[in-house]
Amino acid sequence: MTLSISLLLYVEAAGCRAPGGVVAFCHPEDLAQLRGLPNLRTCVVHGEHPAADDAIPFPWLTDETWSDALWAAESDRTPLPQLLAEGERVELLFLCRQSAIPSTAILRLALLGHKTVTAIVGGAPVVVRCDENRARRRRMVDEAVQRFCVDSARKHPLGKPGGYHPEGGHGFSAYCPNLAARADANGKESRSRLVLLEDGRPLGSAHALHTALRGVGRGLYSHWESRVFFSSSDNSNPNENGRTYSWIELPEQPTGMERRLARISGVLPSGESAWSPADLEAEDRGWARRLPSLRPAERVFEEWLKRDGGRLLPPEPSEQRILLMIGYLGPGGAERQICNLARGLLTQGYAPSLMTMSPIRDEGRHYADMLLHSSDIPILSLDVMTHGDFVQATGDEEFRRILWAAAPTLRRLPEEVRLPVIEAMIRMHRLRPAAVICYLDMVNVVGGLAALLVGVPRILLSGRNVNPTHFPNLYRPWFYGLYRMLLRSPRVVMSANAEAGARSYATWLMLKPETVKVIVNGIAVEDLPQPTLAQRVETRLSVGVGSSRPLIAGVFRLAPEKQPLLFVEVIARIRREIPHVKAVVAGIGPLREAMERRLRALGIEDAIHFLGRSQSVNVLLGAADLLLHTAKAEGLPNVIMEAQWQALPVVCTRAGGTPSALSPSLQPYMHEIDDLDGLTRSCLFMLRNHEERRRLAAEAQADVHRRFTVEALVERTLDALALPPPAAAGPAPALAKPPEAAVVRAVPSAPQHKARPASIPAAQRPPQRKKRRR
């Protein structure tokens, strides 16, 4: 794995400001990138690998060997204690992203008089104070946590040693039937409380994306149902490294040692007070009280808006470049829509580029291969940035000035956001887009901040569902505060893909409803060709259904928000009336085992055929007689639009933006999210009345062909951004045009601390609050 470009910047800056040089503790894989950085005295390499001549080898680090490794670090035969005693400031960097610095090492540094250590744990730099009293207290707590882990590890081994299943890359998995399910029998999801241990030491971070787990490894893990996906701390094969893996299930409200263990492993993120907050939306009203770390960011951001908020990067005059940004290109509705939008913009004469935050490999290539292989659309990833990219960016005087102006805001951002924002700023400065369009909450925050700070004239944020407080497992406690910061700029526009989603975001963020633009999804005709008769027959036969048996399709992620157990109950009731009916489900997720258990309990194991992930959903929809959709939370569901596009009738629940996606002719067959009787009744009516079913499907098909097109998606997006036609000469004008002097062009040098900012007309300045007298 390559080190983050921003981490390399941090190491480089540390070397410049430390007269005594930098001593870095790192993994062998990171050593090559660190060589050549200024003032780097030496590296202590941990891991069972042969070290280079300019590095000091050390075995796999434990609490004890960490402390001893401090004394093994030497440069020019000068031991580290002597370096510290000489009085010159030495910067200590611990690039050990799979574990924290133990208290024993901090205590020994404190006794030597060293003040701080910079630890890069989880990908972000954290400055640790070397205070003797605090270190002693921390060591006592660490020892207690360690004893707790060792005692618990004996009770819960992870699967059978040597029997871990490879999942590709650095990932492995183990099946543990006695693990608590991530979602209960009622379909209620909460954050997993599993802590994974390696030789009694907690791994982390928890809740990792599987793409990151396979590509990065380093102790990342994830818990779905009764299966644990994990990687070892040094990316060795857990079937061969001789270590013992075990797990601990923490209580819902951890206290004391359990809470500290949750923090170490990342099970309970900073800022959360419970595993599944009862009312996150209400708690967000007091975000300034709960998240004091954001208050300094808000203050310096206000100052930046007044000083530099009007400085814009001029886009290339020869073309209208638009950058679209999303987390990854794996299977999903938002991912499909952003690809549709990119291709639609290309046909309109724009020059779109697509950028992801995660690697474009494995399942993250799903739509890159499926939708973009024939299009002239560049696909970028923040994951593949190199040190050369950063050197090139910081060598540009214009970018140095931008980075200088944004530094106070960047330093005060949450650690999870700060580094991706800097990397995105580098990409955006190089591309110089006329607009940036972001999909999904995490990307909205990262991409929106980067675009705003670098000077992109127009920024569109798109929420693809209801607001994130409805999804505790994806929620971050600082979403609310950073969204509010972004929306203070007139260059930022908020949007949603359905009226229900727009209302949800407006209520959550305390915005006027009309300020959240509604941009409905678009269906690409070329991606949904009508299946042939032979394809439909083959699909029905493959799931064990002939031409005379009714077939019900379900296309959804097997997750609580889609209510798959309600889907099972509806099918069970239909079977009582029509015994030969069959259902087929396309999708993956954590509730598949729960669905199978419920089917066995009802004695209808053969009622549902599970397809898993499928790239031929259009053929399935063309072969089925009915689509059943039982979600309780939705944006604007693609599958409902695509089913109607294929002339397939739909029975569904009234969730999120579903009413907007459903044709008027099918509205009577939409029910409340817990209406089991109504859903069953509508399905039986559709299956028993063939002519009426065909008539309703034909009307729905005509309605969808008229409303949900890629052309309409592109048109509404351009209207929200107020972008001129691509044939217009010159760069796109800004929403509020700044004076010529405020536009960043060629800047001779970075400003000094007391440099006076360029003046901005009063009409462009954000309103200032009056100070209250005490």
Using DSSP bridges, classify how beta strands 245-249 and 321-326 pair: parallel, antiparallel or unpaired: unpaired
Question: What is the band of 633 on the pLDDT scale with cuts at 50, 70, 90?
Answer: confident
Highest mean pLDDT among 147-156, 368-377, 551-560: 551-560
Q: pLDDT digit string (tens) for 607-616? A: 999 988 877 8
Is residue 518 over pLDDT 90? Answer: yes
pLDDT of amino acid 8 = 62
CA–CA distance, 537 with 602 (Å, rounded to integer) = 29
pLDDT of amino acid 746 = 31
Q: Of the ranges 188-192, 320-324, 486-490, which one carries the lowest mean pLDDT score?
A: 188-192
pLDDT of amino acid 725 = 79
Is residue 266 over pLDDT 80? Answer: no
pLDDT of amino acid 575 = 94
Contact 473, 189 (CB under 8 A): yes
Contact 687, 664 (CB under 8 A): no
pLDDT of amino acid 739 = 31
Contact 311, 758 (CB under 8 A): yes
Question: What is the band of 301 on the pLDDT scale with cuts at 50, 70, 90?
Answer: confident
C-alpha torsion 62→64→66→70, nearest 10: -160
Tokens of 682: 């509508």
Asked whether this chain's domains 300-522 and 531-708 adopt the same fold, the reply is: yes
Is residue 72 over pLDDT 60? Answer: no
Average pLDDT over residues 124-137: 65
Is residue 496 over pLDDT 90? Answer: yes
Query: In the 3-class helix/strand/coil scheme, how is 642-687 assigned residue by residue?
Result: HHHHCCCCEEEECCCCHHHHCCHHHHHHEECCCCHHHHHHHHHHHH
Is residue 201 over pLDDT 70? Answer: yes
pLDDT of amino acid 51 = 39
C-alpha torsion 715→719→722→727, nearest 10: 20
CA–CA distance, 690 with 256 (Å, rounded to integer) = 63
Q: pLDDT digit string (tens) for 417-447? A: 877 888 899 889 989 999 999 999 999 999 9
CA 751 to chain centre: 35
Contact 658, 640 (CB under 8 A): yes
Average pLDDT over residues 252-274: 56
Q: Of the ranges 230-239, 317-326, 457-466, 729-738, which one carries the lowest mean pLDDT score?
A: 729-738
pLDDT of amino acid 319 = 61
Is residue 286 over pLDDT 50? Answer: no
Taking the CA atoms of 338, 342, 344 and 345 in sequence, report the sign of the dihedral they define: positive
Is residue 174 over pLDDT 70? Answer: yes
Is residue 493 over pLDDT 50? Answer: yes
Average pLDDT over residues 20-40: 65
- Interior angle at CA 713, CA 707 and CA 716, nearest 5: 105
Q: What is the mean pLDDT of the chain?
A: 74
Question: What is the band of 78 on the pLDDT scale with cuts at 50, 70, 90?
Answer: very low
Q: Which residue has the higher pLDDT, 766 or 471?
A: 471
pLDDT of amino acid 559 = 83
**Is domain 300-522 classified as CATH 3.50.50.60?**
no
Contact 272, 381 (CB under 8 A): no
pLDDT of amino acid 332 = 77
Contacts made by residues 504-509, CB under 8 angstroms, sequence distance 24+ = 504/463, 504/466, 504/467, 504/470, 504/656, 505/463, 505/466, 505/467, 507/281, 507/467, 508/281, 508/284, 508/467, 508/469, 508/480, 509/467, 509/480, 509/483, 509/484
Average pLDDT over residues 316-323: 73
pLDDT of amino acid 466 = 85
Question: What is the band of 255 on the pLDDT scale with cuts at 50, 70, 90?
Answer: low
Is residue 568 over pLDDT 60? Answer: yes
Q: Of the ranges 5-14, 311-320, 324-333, which one carries the lowest mean pLDDT score?
A: 5-14
Is residue 389 over pLDDT 50? Answer: yes
Is residue 285 over pLDDT 50? Answer: no
Question: What is the band of 113 on the pLDDT scale with cuts at 50, 70, 90?
Answer: low
CA–CA distance, 553 with 650 (Å, rounded to integer) = 10
Q: Of the ranges 271-275, 317-321, 552-556, which one carries the lowest mean pLDDT score?
A: 271-275
- Interior angle at CA 175, CA 169 and CA 179, nearest 5: 125
Is residue 387 over pLDDT 70? Answer: no
pLDDT of amino acid 269 = 46
Is residue 563 over pLDDT 80? Answer: yes
205 preceded by a cis bond (ω within 30 of 0)? yes
Q: What is the DSSP string of 398-446?
A: HHHHHHHHHHHHHHTS-HHHHHHHHHHHHHHHHH--SEEEEESHHHHHH
Q: pLDDT digit string (tens) for 390-415? A: 667 767 788 888 888 888 888 778 76
Spell 635-654 as b/e; 16+ CB within 10 A means b. Answer: bbbbbbbbbbbbbbbbbbbb
Average pLDDT over residues 739-746: 31
Which residues have CB under 8 Å from 572's CB, separation 6+? 602, 604, 607
pLDDT of amino acid 596 = 92
3 state DSSP class of 168: strand
Is residue 305 over pLDDT 90? Answer: no
Average pLDDT over residues 201-228: 69
pLDDT of amino acid 299 = 72
pLDDT of amino acid 670 = 95
CATH code given to domain 531-708: 3.40.50.2000
Q: What is the DSSP string of 337-398?
A: HHHHHHHHHHHTT-EEEEEESS-SSGGGGHHHHHTSTTS---EEEGGG--HHHHHHHHTSHH
Q: Which residue has the higher pLDDT, 358 or 671?
A: 671
Q: Of the ranges 491-500, 523-532, 736-745, which one carries the lowest mean pLDDT score?
A: 736-745
Contact 636, 660 (CB under 8 A): yes
Average pLDDT over residues 137-165: 69
CA–CA distance, 410 with 123 (Å, rounded to integer) = 15
In this prediction, what percent of the chain has a pLDDT beyond 70? 60
Q: Which residue has the tokens 């990307």?
A: 443
pLDDT of amino acid 43 = 60
Average pLDDT over residues 564-575: 94
Highest mean pLDDT among 178-182, 194-198, 439-443, 740-744: 439-443
Contact 693, 429 (CB under 8 A): no
Average pLDDT over residues 441-454: 94
Q: What is the DSSP string of 698-756?
A: HHHHHHHHHH-BHHHHHHHHHHHHTPPPTTSSSSPPPSSPPPGGGS----SSPPPTTPP
3 state DSSP class of 520: coil
Per-domain residue ranges of the chain: 5-130, 153-278, 300-522, 531-708
Contacts made by residues 523-527, CB under 8 angstroms, sequence distance 24+ = 523/340, 523/638, 523/641, 523/642, 523/645, 523/704, 523/708, 523/709, 523/710, 524/340, 524/343, 524/371, 524/710, 527/336, 527/340, 527/370, 527/371, 527/618
pLDDT of amino acid 21 = 66
Question: What is the band of 105 on the pLDDT scale with cuts at 50, 70, 90?
Answer: low
